[in-house]
Amino acid sequence: MPFLMTIPFIEKYALTLEPYQKIKADLGLTTDEFYALTKTLASEIEVARKVRQLYQRKGFKKISLLDFYNWWTNQEKVCNYCGINEQQLSILFDKLKEFNKRPTRGKTLELDRRISNKEYDDIDNLVLCCYICNNAKSDFFNHEQFIPVGQSIKLVWTKILNPE
């Protein structure tokens, strides 16, 4: 399957949710090719679904779902404040679970607004952020104020992930 096919496929299949028949017709796919793509692109499809849910939950209006998806896929997948990536976050959550209350939010990166009282629609105001930093920053600190806090959070998780 040509690589160029993957992006329109993900868009139609997981973002704009077009009917399967239409996707097959538009992209010239046989039924077998269609289902093969859903398997090959399973992890990209999962990401696109997550982005779609986030887009709906945050009530974006001024930017399109596709623009938001493009923004998301172009972001480096680390917390903007403490630098943790999703794999490290997942290990950290598993370690903390042994002696803490089970966290109610996910191990995946979340959206943070640099300036909290601006709309989510302003894409320049958005950064990716881990649950821990997002929770600590809340709506109280702005981006600049929280940067040193993020550095301290990094010291804590680095120690937990790399015990001496």
CA 102 to mean position of chain CA atoms: 21
Minimum Å gap between C-beta 84 and Zn ion is 5
Spatial contact of 112 and 137, defined as CB atoms under 8 Å apart: yes
CB atoms within 10 A of CB 81: 27
CB of 11 to Zn ion, least distance (A): 30
- Helical (H) or strand (E) element with 8: helix 6-10
Residue nearer to Zn ion on the CB measure, 23 or 132:
132
Q: Which of 23, 133, 136, 137 binds Zn ion (CB under 5 A)?
A: 133
**Which position among 41, 47, 51, 79 is part of the footprint of Zn ion (CB under 5 A)?**
79
Amino acid at 127: V
Q: Which is nearer to Zn ion, 13 or 150 (CB)?
A: 150
Smallest separation (angstroms) from Zn ion to the CB of 55:
22
Give the shortest CB-127-to-Zn ion separation in angstroms.
Answer: 10
Least Å from the CB of residue 19 to Zn ion: 40
Say if CB 9 and CB 23 are below 8 A apart: yes
Nearer to Zn ion, 9 or 81 (CB): 81
Segment near Zn ion (CB under 5 A); pick from 20-28, 45-53, 106-114, 122-130 = 122-130
Q: Which is nearer to Zn ion, 16 or 85 (CB)?
A: 85
Strand, helix or coil for residue 111: strand
What angle separates helix 31-40 from helix 20-27, to the nearest 10 degrees?
A: 100
Nearest Cα neighbor of 153 from 65, 92, 91, 100 is 92
Looking at 33-41, 46-54, 60-68, 73-81, which segment touches Zn ion (CB under 5 A)? 73-81
* Rounded distance between C-alpha atoms, residue 44 and residue 47, angstroms: 5
- Under the rule (CB under 5 A), what is the footprint of Zn ion? 79, 81-82, 130, 133
